[in-house]
Amino acid sequence: MYCDNRFGVEALDNALGEARAWLVPVMVNDFYVELTSKKQYTFADVQCWDTARIFILHFARHWAVGSEEWRAVVSALVGTGRMRDPKRGRVKFIRALPDITLTELLAVAEPGASRNPFESISIQVRNWLVVLLLLLCGLRRGEALLLTVDSLKHDLDRQTSEVKYWLDVTTTDDEDRRSSKPGIKTSDSHRQIPISADLASLIEMYVAEHRRDDGQSRFLLTADDGVELSAESVNKLLAQLSDAISPAAMQRFTERTGGKRRISAHDLRHTCATVRYGLFSAADRDRALAFQRMRAFFGWAIESEMPAVYARAAIEDDLLKSWSEVFDKRVGVLRGISG
């Protein structure tokens, strides 16, 4: 019924009957987005999706024996998976930051910017690093706060003769004096995240020139007095940056997020995941492989449905059109900044 109304009478039957592999995923994906973007979906919706998915998988697997196009359809359907039972918690239709809001956030957070609400250049550099760790690396707030001065690693790629950099995201035995101690969410969250040379240079510069050190902490992000930066401080700095953003940009953010008035650490992780899915899928041209890379990059379990959630978000988001260059390039503006 949905495909009849959306694509024309018997559109899905015709697409299957004529084995049009390029058209079937369009209809299926559109149907999935329609179901999961509802504010409330029902158990009947879950059953409807399961029935449609199994039905189409039957045909796709039959034709996949001799067709790469149909093998891609099978991969997409398997990767998308089942809808979660609404009694177990509804799958949310996640949104990235609107372009205008992200543009404004980067403009006010950039060290030296006239609208940056923080006076100290060292604090500006630290806050800029916090924003980029959340936005470019997709770290959870607690994961960023667990990084130490030794978390940045590098090695020489013998094939390209280039230096490769990454962050070890894991726990540490260092003493943590924070009352609300950050932690790693699950066993799958322990991981290594590749980063650009520019971001690695920013971290090194921050540690050498701007990081406050009371001599007792090896955690990367510290407060003005040298103690470990707290989760509450991250929330506060993002709130101050949000307040410095233009009313029009924040209004767009509020509309997009259903009433939120402050940007959170998780909003930046959402944005990272939405864009990274677009980049991974474009590079791999294989939905299942893109999902695997997403799970590894963001620290999700191998059976996690989260990649499908962000895939749906990316479908309706124009972030890639204007913000793909944000990733791994924006940090270059910090070169040459000193305290």
Model confidence pLDDT, tens digit, residues 271-292: 888 888 877 877 767 888 888 8
Q: Judging by DSSP bridges, how do beta strands 162-169 and 152-157 pair with one another?
A: antiparallel
Q: Under a CB-based contact definition with an 8 Å cutoff, are residues 212 and 224 in contact?
A: yes
Model confidence pLDDT, tens digit, residues 123-137: 999 999 999 999 989
**Is the pLDDT score of 120 beyond 50?**
yes
> Angle at which helices 197-205 and 121-137 pack, to 10 degrees?
150
CA 252-253-257 angle, to 5 degrees, is 120
Which tokens belong to 219?
């955690």
User: Could you give the residue range(s) of every CATH 1.10.443.10 domain in the chain?
Assistant: 99-334
Model confidence pLDDT, tens digit, residues 328-338: 444 444 443 43
Widest distance between CA atoms in the chain = 72
Averaged pLDDT of the chain: 82
Rounded Cα distance between 74 and 58, Å, is 9
* DSSP letter (8 states) at residue 230: P
**Is the pLDDT score of 319 beyond 70?**
no
Q: 99-334: what fold?
A: hpI Integrase; Chain A (1.10.443)
Q: Under a CB-based contact definition with an 8 Å cutoff, are residues 102 and 95 in contact?
A: no
pTM of the model: 0.70
**Is the pLDDT score of 316 beyond 70?**
no
